[in-house]
Amino acid sequence: MKVVLFCGGYGMRMRGSADDPIPKPMQMVGPRPLLWHVMRYYAHYGHKDFILCLGYGAAHIKNFFLTYQESVSNDFVIRDGKVEMLSTDISDWTITFVDTGLESPIGERLRRVRPHLEGEEYFLANYADVLTDAPLDEMIDKCVAAGAAASMMIVPPQSSFHCVDVDDSGRVGTITPVAKLPIWENGGYFVLTPEVLDLLPPGGDLVEDACGALARTGRLIGYQHLGFWKPADTFKERAELDAAYASGDRPWMVWEGDEC
Domain 2-74+85-155+183-247: which topology? Spore Coat Polysaccharide Biosynthesis Protein SpsA; Chain A (3.90.550)
What pLDDT does 19 receive? 54
Quick one: which of 155, 151, 159 has its CA closest to 206?
151
DSSP 100: -
Q: How many helices (H) and strands (E) does the chain have?
A: 7, 15
Q: Is 120 exposed, middle or buried (0-12, 13-18, 19+ CB in 10 A)?
A: middle
What pLDDT does 20 receive? 54
Per DSSP bridges, beta strands 172-177 and 162-166 are antiparallel
Instruction: Going residue by residue through the chain, which has 260 residues, state the pLDDT in tens, using 9 for 90 and above.
Output: 999 999 987 755 445 445 556 888 999 999 999 999 999 999 999 999 999 999 999 999 999 999 998 888 888 999 988 888 888 888 899 999 999 999 999 999 999 999 999 999 999 999 999 999 999 999 999 999 999 999 999 999 877 788 898 888 888 988 887 777 778 999 999 999 999 999 999 999 999 999 999 999 999 999 999 999 999 988 889 999 999 999 999 999 999 877 54
CB 244 within 8 A of CB 250: yes
What pLDDT does 17 receive? 46
Quick one: which of 129, 159, 134, 156 has its CA closest to 251?
134
Q: What is the Cα–Cα distance from 205 to 108, expressed in whole angstroms?
A: 7
CA 237 to chain centroid, in Å, comes to: 15
Rg of the chain taking only CA atoms, in angstroms: 20
Beta-carbon contacts of residue 255 (< 8 Å; ≥ 6 apart): 40, 41, 43, 44
What pLDDT does 260 receive? 44
